[in-house]
Amino acid sequence: MSQVWSPEIIERAAALHLQARQLVWGYRFGLHRSPKITRSVEFAEHKEYSPGDSVRDIDWRVFARTERLLVRRQQADTELSVVLALDASGDMAIGAAELPSLTDSRFGKAITLAATLALLAQRRGEKVGLFIMGGEGQEVNWLRPQSSRNQLAAILNHLAAIRPKNNANLEHRFQDLGHVLPKRSLVFVLSDFMEEPQRWGPSLSGLAAMGADLRLVHLYSQKEFALSFDETAQFLSPEESSPLNLDSTAIRQSFLGVVDEYLDELKSWSAKSRAVYIPCAYEETLERTFIQMLRGV
């Protein structure tokens, strides 16, 4: 029996589904209306206005010239797919057990966000796919975007089954994604981006060049970035074999400088790729991040 369909995973997937529904419900409750995730400004065709169409979609310039009521149809409305690119490297589950908690780990928050987006997309009848970078336990790393109900279950089960491990190797994974990505996709990258931006940045730009609409969700720990630890300690990571014995107090100031440089670089590559950069601190709640992800601002 596949691990993805083990009772433990199914139970975990159910919990993930529940959390996603709560998040979607809160979002809809606040906005009264859930717009399509895949908003696009790219023109596809005109059609005759019919009752029920949004008045905001009427092309008033055409009306001024021809006195005909025509409605603008965007290309994405019909073709755009949602792809969830999830970083499952070892660092994403810092301090967690094999299957990180959905609420108390960085990776848990990442898959919760992914599940929520998948649920919302499925409800809107949009195609949604999953691309997993690193990790182990999942049957496949790539679920092609589909709009069926089964696709949601598959995504949830895969998300529930992933054990964060190894390096994500973003540079190559972004290249791999470029090979399978449908044209005109909306790609959510959920990662700690803890690899050299100079290496993966060009690959990300390659995705953008293919027409992907990129949203980078940066999952990080405020405590780590502020180095809020006292005195000497041994710093270690699942992705690195050699720990570092460091005096936090002594190195804090220079570390903050390094973090600033790193974030600047991250944002720089994000801008070069016409991506939306969405910081997501581990210590904060997910609602705000989710709204930013949907709005793309």
Partner 1 sequence: MSLGWLTPGALFIGALILLPILAHLIQRNPTRKIQFGAMMLLRKLPEVTKRRRKIQDWLLLLLRILAISAIALVVTQPELRWLGIDPNLPTAKTMVIVLDNSLSMNQKISNPLFPAKNTAFLKAKEDAIERIQNSPEGSKYGIVSVGEEAVGWTDELLTDRSEALATLKDIQQTVGETDLLGGIKLARRLLLGEGGDVYVYTDEAGPNTIHVLKDEIQLLSDQKGSLYPQVVRPEEPQNVIVLSAKYGDGLEGGTLRYQLMNYGKEKKEVLCTTRLPDGTEIRNFVQTEPEGVAENFITVPRVADGGIGSIQVEDSTLELDNDFYFHLPRVGASRVLVVDGEPGVTTINSEVYFLERALAPFGAQNETLPDVVGPSGIQTLDSEVHRVVFLANVMEPAPIAAGMIDFVRNGGGLMISLGNNVSAERYNSSFAEIMPAKLRKIESLAQSGEEGKATAIPDLSQELFSPFIRGGALEFSSVRWRKIFSVQDVPADTTVLLSLENGMPLLLEKKVGKGRILLLLGTVDHAWGNLPLQAIFMPVVQRIVTYLGGASSLGGMRKMATIGELVEIDLPEGSTEVVLEGPKGSVGLRYNKGKAIFRPKHAGPYLLRSSGAPPIAQIAVNYSPEESDIRVSDELLAVASEVVPDRYIQKAALAPWLIWVVLVLFFLQALLSFAKRTPTDGENNES
Per CB under 8 A, residues contacting partner 1 are 91-92, 94-96, 105-106, 192, 194-196, 220-221, 223-225, 229-240, 243-247, 250-251, 254-255, 258-259, 262, 282
Buried b or exposed e, range 243-267, using 16+ CB within 10 angstroms: eeebeeeeeeeebeeeeeeebeebb
Alpha carbon 90 to its chain's center: 17
Residue 132 in contact with residue 83, Cβ under 8 Å? no
In angstroms, give the least distance from the CB of 228 to partner 1. 10
Angle at which helices 286-295 and 106-123 cross, to 10° = 50
What's the rounded Cα separation, in Å, for the pair 149 and 282?
A: 30
Distance set, CA 165 to CA 4, 180, 188, 237 (Å): 17, 23, 20, 11
In angstroms, give the least distance from the CB of 213 to partner 1. 28
Residue closer to partner 1 by CB (options 48, 231) is 231
Residue closer to partner 1 by CB (options 75, 166) is 166
Burial of residue 142 (CB within 10 Å: 0-12, 13-18, 19+) is middle
DSSP state of 279: E
Residue closer to partner 1 by CB (options 50, 253) is 253
In angstroms, give the least distance from the CB of 103 to partner 1. 12
Residue closer to partner 1 by CB (options 31, 236) is 236
DSSP state of 273: T
162: left (phi over 0), alpha (psi -120 to 50) or beta: beta
Residue closer to partner 1 by CB (options 100, 129) is 100
Residue closer to partner 1 by CB (options 131, 220) is 220
In angstroms, give the least distance from the CB of 263 to partner 1. 10
In angstroms, give the least distance from the CB of 87 to partner 1. 11
Residue closer to partner 1 by CB (options 140, 258) is 258
Distance set, CA 235 to CA 98, 117, 165, 239 (Å): 20, 34, 18, 12
What's the rounded Cα separation, in Å, for the pair 249 and 27?
A: 41
Residue closer to partner 1 by CB (options 14, 226) is 226
In angstroms, give the least distance from the CB of 131 to partner 1. 21
Residue 270 in contact with residue 262, Cβ under 8 Å? no
Cβ contacts of 12 within 8 Å, gap of 6 or more: 99, 102, 160, 161
